[in-house]
Structure 1
């Protein structure tokens, strides 16, 4: 097609009047225009495609970026991004992506509103609260600071949750101080009360021991979910926040937290996985209704006359009534960190001491395999080798020529964990 036959709008309007390209073909066409830096044509092509009813989710992102490169007014870019929101109004991952684009283009108030809408659709997802807190502080929106900080304290449980919870509590403290500075003591008190309520935990179970060995804690919850080292967060709200092993004493503990727990009976399975436990004893600390006036703490000794012990506990005043929405599918960073810590915590051993998970929270020992990286050199370019053979009467020389043309077309990079 002749891109110089008129203005970009005229060219692409005429194109869509006569053609209806497939989604893949149009994607390739827009990519080619982008590489040629024909941003005016990218904008016109996507706009006409949307008018022609050939919309795709990626179009709004590319259109907004192309409009920014082309220097279009901010109001036009904002309108495009909000159209993307309308396109994915009930899809939480795409809503989060749309909010990130709005924030990137400086539309922070709309981005914050979108994060709050996403949290209403899926209250247990941690991303809206974590991303929204930064915008709330930037905009000095103290209602949003309360929403984000309480959400982080309740629903955010990554491996570094302690630092995130401290940051959320600090943001709430700063917001309350700012409100008091303006004379709004009532609103500041409401914020502090909400944050104190977010610190409440219906159930905390801590298993601690001494020695070089390792114990595993598995919690069967009343609503049918199971929390263990290979499935650290459940739809019942339970989280295995720490998975410990010896010989370093400060690491010899397992901890389970459930902020909003279902009432009923909890079954705790304690597995002696490997190594020696001092005195063959561990200590189980059960805390109920933490942060309330009815807080209870009980400590029980666990004697390992068997490699697996089962303890049952009841929770009568749990605040959860049903399972939460399915958790987002992510890489198991907890298991990855666990493996790397184990190698650093005690010597790596081959053979029968290498464990592999089998079933829910249960391990059996198998033969292990150790991997050692082998680094080799790869040549690229043209290589030529020649072999000369002289005949017996020295009248002829036979040449064998071998030319090799090599090119590296793809390199996959990765990192070794220490």
Structure 2
């Protein structure tokens, strides 16, 4: 329908995207220049960007506002326009409600994703539009249900608004999903906010709402599986937990698709740091395999204590503590988690350390344990053994680490349906992707006389 109205307003549809001569806007009202210009012409995107930049440099912000609005109305919107429009309106002192509507439009352009939602919410916080920002945080949480950022940032706003319902949502998300480096303080802040919200509800006579708040928080604090490994001594033990879906949670991969998180990777000699903690708030049901490895150093008595808790803070909580004897091989323990609550894998970034880099990782993490003389001696012995081999030519390097990557080829497309925050529009965004491997070059390298 907008295209039909456009044809009725103009004798001919807008021309194809071309370079056009910009109108004379000096000493003219913005409403007299830009609506007619963008209705008649379709300038190149680079031309529009240069125009808006020039208007800002000339401090003609009303002209910039009118030009951007006219481009959007005539189906010539670009992703950056909403942000620039909001900045221009802020400079001109437009009402905060108008700026809020523009910021909402940022999330409505094309394929709104988690990043754009979070960016728009933070932008609204600048204008003290905390309620609107909270709505965007909640919408971002729906797009990425297990990301902790919307809940952590939303909790700050909910506490300022003193809204028990918003505190309930944010605090539950923080307690269940936030396992970042500062999670202990975040969890403490969440519980503090919950206590304040409970007091407010009971003072208002809303005992039922207060009870529902506490029940939500209790459920958020449930953990399907918790594992704690403690020891004494100057050495280091490493904890590995193999999950039913195949992931392994350890210092190499601290978060897994199965929901596990290694919250602490400790080492001696400080007793307060001699522990490793694994937690799986919502995990898959099935068999978990726990392995304990003696990485390096002296462990008092060559013994460690392993504490396993099933359904922590839940109705079927069960804790088992056992002493394990360390040796050359890993100590393995198998256990069954029958009541895991996870149904779908979690999306996590993979940060694995290659096996050939593991010794360097351990040394780098513990500089006080670095055996410099031993490293130099080992490298010297390795190079000496290479030189003594018959027929070996020196190539200037003694190692090679291949990097394997997957290059997609062909055609693909992704689609997403987005409902605008004000419930006025539903947009479907389709993103096609075409890739083709045009050429592959091969080469040879000399290493010990082998290609």
Instruction: Report the TM range for the smaller structure's normalisation.
Output: 0.7 to 0.9
After superposition, the Cα gap between the structure-2 partners of 1:191 and 1:223, relative to the gap in structure 1 and judged at 3 Å, is same
The answer as to whether partners of 2:171 and 2:194 remain within 8 angstroms in 1 is yes
Aligned residue pairs: how many?
349
Q: Counterpart in 2 of 1:277?
A: 299
- Aligned-partner SS, 2:181: coil
The answer as to whether partners of 1:88 and 1:95 remain within 8 angstroms in 2 is no
Further displaced range: 6-15 or 226-235: 6-15
Q: Counterpart in 1 of 2:249?
A: 227
CA distance, structure 1, for counterparts of residue 29 and residue 188 of structure 2: 56
Alignment of 1:6-405 (within 5 A): 6-17=28-39, 19-87=41-109, 90-324=112-346, 326-327=347-348, 342-343=365-366, 346=368, 348-350=370-372
CA distance, structure 1, for counterparts of residue 308 and residue 150 of structure 2: 31
CA distance, structure 1, for counterparts of residue 70 and residue 290 of structure 2: 61
Q: Counterpart in 1 of 2:16?
A: none
Distance apart, 1:343 and its partner CA? 4.7
Cα deviation 1:281-319 (Å, max 9, x = unaligned): 222111111112321111222222214333222111111
Distance apart, 1:79 and its partner CA? 1.9
Further displaced range: 78-87 or 206-215: 78-87
- Aligned-partner SS, 2:59: coil
Distance apart, 1:74 and its partner CA? 2.2
CA distance, structure 2, for counterparts of residue 339 and residue 42 of structure 1: 56
Distance apart, 1:196 and its partner CA? 1.6
The answer as to whether partners of 2:294 and 2:327 remain within 8 angstroms in 1 is no
Distance apart, 1:17 and its partner CA? 4.8
Distance apart, 1:210 and its partner CA? 1.5
CA distance, structure 2, for counterparts of residue 43 and residue 352 of structure 1: 68
The answer as to whether partners of 1:218 and 1:270 remain within 8 angstroms in 2 is yes
Q: TM-score if structure 2 supplies the norm length?
A: 0.71
The answer as to whether partners of 1:125 and 1:328 remain within 8 angstroms in 2 is no
Cα deviation 1:12-55 (Å, max 9, x = unaligned): 33543565344344334433433333322321222122123222
Distance apart, 1:351 and its partner CA? 6.5
Instruction: Extract unaligned runs of 5+ from structure 1.
Output: 355-366, 368-418
CA distance, structure 1, for counterparts of residue 64 and residue 296 of structure 2: 61
CA distance, structure 2, for counterparts of residue 188 and residue 21 of structure 1: 58
Q: TM-score if structure 1 supplies the norm length?
A: 0.76
The answer as to whether partners of 1:213 and 1:275 remain within 8 angstroms in 2 is yes
The answer as to whether partners of 1:238 and 1:258 remain within 8 angstroms in 2 is yes
The answer as to whether partners of 2:363 and 2:370 remain within 8 angstroms in 1 is no
